[in-house]
Chains A and B, each alone.
Chain A
Amino acid sequence: MRILIVEDDALVADGMRRGLSQAGFAVDHVASAERAEAALQHENFDLLLVDVGLPGVDGFDLVRRLRRSGKGMPVLIVTARDALADRVVALDLGADDYLVKPFALPELAARCRALIRRSKSASGSGMDIGPLHLDISRRETRVSARIVDLTRREWAVLECLALHAGQVVSKDRLQQAISTWEDGLTTNAVEVYISRLRGKLGDEVPIRTVRGLGYRLDEAIA
Chain B
Amino acid sequence: MNARDSWTIRRRLLLTLIGPLLLLLGAGVALDYAAGIAPLQAAFDQALINEVLATAAQLRTQRGGIEFELTPQAMEMLRADKYDAIYYLVLGPHHEYISGDEGLPNAPSGPDNPALVDAQFRNNAIRSASFRHQTAAGEVTITIAETTHKRDEARHRMLVSIVVTDTLQFGAILLMIWLGVRLGLRPLIALRAQIDARSAHELAPLDETHVPGEVRPLTRALNRLFATVRSNAHAQQQFLANAAHQLRTPLAGLQTQLEVLRRDAEAASVRDRIDGLLDGTRRLSHTANQLLALARVEPTANATAEFGDVDLRDIAEQAVAAHFEQALQRRIDLGVEAQPATTRGSAWLLREMLANLVDNALTYAHADGHVTVRCGMNSDGVPRAYVEVEDDGPGIPEEQRAHVIERFYRLPGTSGDGCGLGLAIVDEIVRSHHAHLTISEGAHRRGTNVRVTFSAAAQVA
Contact = CB atoms under 8 A, between A and B. Distances in A.
Contact of B335 (A19, A53, A211): A211
A19 B334 CA distance: 30
Given A11-B250, A210-B324, A211-B333, A104 B245 contact: no
Contact of A168 (B259, B324, B338): B324
B320 interface: yes
Contacts, number: 101
A81 B259 contact: no
Contact of B257 (A15, A53, A208, A210): A15
Interface residues of B, number: 37
Contacts of B255: 15, 102-104
A168 to B, nearest CB: 4
A130 to B, nearest CB: 15
A84 B245 contact: no
A14 B257 CA distance: 8
B214 to A, nearest CB: 41
Given A104-B259, A105-B260, A12 B320 contact: no
Contact of A80 (B244, B254, B347): B244
5 contacts: A15-B252, A22-B260, A104-B255, A210-B320, A211-B333
Given A12-B253, A101-B251, A102-B255, A170 B260 contact: no
B256 A212 contact: no
Interface in A188-218: 208, 210-213, 216
Given A19-B256, A81-B241, A102 B320 contact: no
A210 B335 CA distance: 6
Given A19-B260, A166-B325, A168-B324, 10 more contacts: A9-B252, A12-B256, A15-B252, A18-B260, A22-B260, A101-B249, A102-B251, A104-B259, A170-B321, A210-B335
Interface in B313-352: 317, 320-321, 324-325, 328, 333-338, 347-348
Given A19-B260, A211-B335, A81 B253 contact: no
A81 B338 CA distance: 31
A82 interface: yes
Contacts of A170: 317, 321
A80 B259 contact: no
Contacts of A212: 320, 335-338, 372
A73 B312 CA distance: 35
A15 B260 contact: yes
A145 interface: no
Interface string A1-42: 000000001011011101100100000000000000000000
Contact of A210 (B249, B296, B334, B337): B334
B263 interface: yes
A11 B260 contact: no
Contacts of A84: 347-348
Contacts of B333: 211
